[in-house]
Amino acid sequence: MDVYNLSGDDVVWLLERKFDFDRDERETPDAARFGRFKAGWRDAVASLVGERELYNDLRTLTWQNLGYRLGRVFGEVPDEVKETVFNLFREHYRLQRYADFWRDDVTQWVADKRLAVTADVCITFFEQAFTNTQYPDKAWFGVHTSAVSLLVGNVYLAAINVFGVDYGIWLLQTPDAPKISRATFEPVKSMPEGVPLVWLRFVDMRDITSLFESDEVWKAYARAARLVLQSSQATDRDTLQMSKGKHRLTNFWTHEPSILS
């Protein structure tokens, strides 16, 4: 294993197979914890040449003793390499605890895009979508440069898009969806014949709050999501979704019965 070419798979192997510990007590990785990580690595390098005593209590995993463990394996490396390694472990940490981070990701995205709606409103939109998504183990969520979206297969269930002609709020619906002021409806052309679905769309993102006032909209969404997930469009694309940095809904969202039930 080459520390200069460490991969995400290497991170998993080190944590699950190489390093022995009973409890993971690492807290949210930040600049201060990167400092502790480097301190642990320095201690390990010093211990290799007898200039420092070994860490004896490794029953818990902390950022400092993670650095120590890595230093014992790889020895001295430049600080920029330590930072690269720390970032790999930080990303793995976030992936394993995405329930704690997805709202932060949406908040930062909204701030970066300077949207006309608040992050709290966008978060509420996706919370409603998550709750009313049928078969959540098939649905994937991601925060990307041009959009925040929830999809299954190649069909978007809910999205906020800031790119070109697709700009706006999008929510999958059955054709019997209630009419909402200022909303337009566009056909989903990728669905098989006999499964007519539409997207409800707001071009003015400030109109998103009207969705929170209608249970019927979310019932139509839940029915539409079920139809997609029972169709040929729900073909598993797990490897593709993960390669794009998306997260399986059941990995971070505790699913509760929807208003369709």
pLDDT tens per residue across span 2-60: 999 999 889 999 999 999 999 999 998 999 999 999 999 999 999 999 999 999 889 99
Res 213: pLDDT: 87
**Mean pLDDT confidence for 72-92:** 95
Measure CA of the first residue to CA of the last residue in the chain; give whole Å: 51
Cα(177)–Cα(101) distance, integer angstroms: 32
Res 261: pLDDT: 42
Cα(103)–Cα(122) distance, integer angstroms: 9
Tell me the two tokens of residue 48: 């290799």
**Mean pLDDT confidence for 110-117:** 94
Check if the beta carbon of residue 231 is closer than 8 Å to that of residue 194.
no
Res 234: pLDDT: 55
- pLDDT top residue among 244 and 208: 208
**Mean pLDDT confidence for 73-100:** 92
Domain boundaries in the chain?
Answer: 3-96, 100-251
Check if the beta carbon of residue 21 is closer than 8 Å to that of residue 59.
yes
Q: Which residues of 212-234 are buried (b: 16+ CB within 10 A; e: fewer)?
A: eeeeebbbbbbbbbbbbbebebb
**Mean pLDDT confidence for 191-203:** 83
**Mean pLDDT confidence for 136-162:** 93
Q: What torsion, rounded to 10 degrees, do the Cα atoms 110, 112, 113, 119 define?
A: 10
Tell me the two tokens of residue 100: 């704690």
Reported as a single tens digit per residue, the pLDDT across 203-242 is 999 999 999 989 999 999 999 988 887 766 556 667 788 7
**Mean pLDDT confidence for 62-78:** 97
| Residues written for the chain | 261
Whose structure tokens read 């700009």? 167
Residue 153 reports pLDDT greater than 90: no
Res 244: pLDDT: 83
